[in-house]
Structures are given as structure tokens and as C-alpha cells.
Amino acid sequence: MEFTHAISRIMHEEHMAVLALLDKLEHLLSANLGAEPPDATAGDVRQLLGTIKAEITTEIKLHFAFEEEHLFPMFEEAGAGDMNNILIQEHQLLMPLGLGLADMAGQAASDGFDADSWVQFRTSSGQFIDGLRAHVAKEEMGMVPLLDDLIDQDQDSNLVANYKFS
Ligand SMILES: [Fe+2]
Ligand SMILES: [Fe+2]
């Protein structure tokens, strides 16, 4: 989809980046379906766990906060409060789940997984992947096109200036 405004493109690109990360996480799970956990302290797995922790605690957190502080109030004013309520509820479920997952990923990258921590990581990852994919799909279908329609050039510049670059 082509977007007119820079902020719509930024949100869209971040959604695509997070979906790519979720695919990698899903691949880690599907490549280790047996009882034995993967060696989390070395190589690609360690690197992926570090990326997951960093992305959740910085990029995803900032992205959610920006939507809540700068986009949802604008949609509320435009009469799209119902959509906001659903998206906010999803943020409220996904952020604690994600932060828990980030902690587990960080711990595993330094100490490795044991049987229990691997099961817990797998369960939380599955919930996070499913929940965040569904959330991004909703935003891509409803929120990002609405944003692109709603704002003018000045608002776009303000939103970009408020996002990470402020
Ligand atoms: Fe969101
Ligand atoms: Fe989003």
C-alpha cells in the first residue's frame, strides 16, 4: 500500500519489521519441538534472544507509547473510539506479556534454558506471536490507512518530530 504521509510509512515499516522478528521467533520454536531446549548461550540463538529482548523493551515499547499518546487521541476525536478501545486493550495485554518474554530471553541468553524455563518461554512466545500478529493486522487494516487519510502535511511533520526524534 502506498501512503501519502511519512508517519504512516514509519508505522507501516515498523509493523513489517516486528512481523519479521515474530517469524524468526516462531522459527526458533518450530526448530526445537523436542523436549531438549536449544543452547541459548551461543551462536544464532543467543543473538536472536538478545534482539528479542532489545526490540521489546525499546522499539515495541516506544511504538505502543507513541500510538497511545499521539495517534489514539486523534482517532478518538475523529469518532473512531471503538477501534481505539480494542487496540488499547491489546496493548495492555501484549506489553506485560512482552516484557515477561524479554526477561526470559535475557536470562536464557546468559544462563541457558532448562526444561521448565524452555516450556515457559515457548508458551509465552506462542501467545505473544499470535497476539501481536493479530494486533498488527488490525492496525494495518484500519489504523494506518485512517491515519494517512486523517492528517495533513503539518500534522505529519509534527508527528514525525514527536516520534523518537524529539
Ligand atoms: Fe498498537
Ligand atoms: Fe502499531
Q: What is the pLDDT of residues 108-155, one digit of tens each?
A: 999 999 999 999 999 999 999 999 999 999 999 999 999 999 999 999
Q: How far does the centroid of ligand 1 lie from the alpha carbon of residue 108, in Å?
A: 27
Which SS3 state, helix, strand or coil, does residue 36 take? Answer: coil
Provide, rounded to the nearest whole percent, the portion of the chain with pLDDT above 70.
99
What ranges in the chain are assigned the alpha helix state H?
6-30, 43-54, 61-66, 72-77, 81-111, 115-138, 144-150, 153-162
Ion ligand 2 residues within 5 Å by Cβ:
139
Give domain status of residue 41, yes or no.
yes
> Quick one: pLDDT at residue 18?
98
CB 148 within 8 A of CB 5: yes
Give domain status of residue 23, yes or no.
yes
pLDDT at 164 over 90: no
Give domain status of residue 81, yes or no.
yes
pLDDT at 166 over 70: no
Q: How far does the centroid of ligand 1 lie from the alpha carbon of residue 113, in Å?
A: 30
43-70 average pLDDT score: 96
> Quick one: pLDDT at residue 165?
60
Give domain status of residue 149, yes or no.
yes
Q: Given pLDDT bands bounded at 50, 70 and 90, which one contains residue 33?
A: confident
Give domain status of residue 1, yes or no.
no
For residue 93, give its domain range: 6-162
Whose atoms come closest to the Cα of 93: which ligand?
1
Q: Which residue has the higher pLDDT, 12 or 81?
A: 12
Domains identified in the chain, total number: 1
Q: How far does the centroid of ligand 1 lie from the alpha carbon of residue 127, in Å?
A: 16
pLDDT at 1 over 80: no
24-44 average pLDDT score: 92
Give domain status of residue 20, yes or no.
yes
Give domain status of residue 78, yes or no.
yes
Give domain status of residue 113, yes or no.
yes
CATH at residue 97: 1.20.120.520
Q: How far does the centroid of ligand 2 lie from the alpha carbon of residue 5, in Å?
A: 16
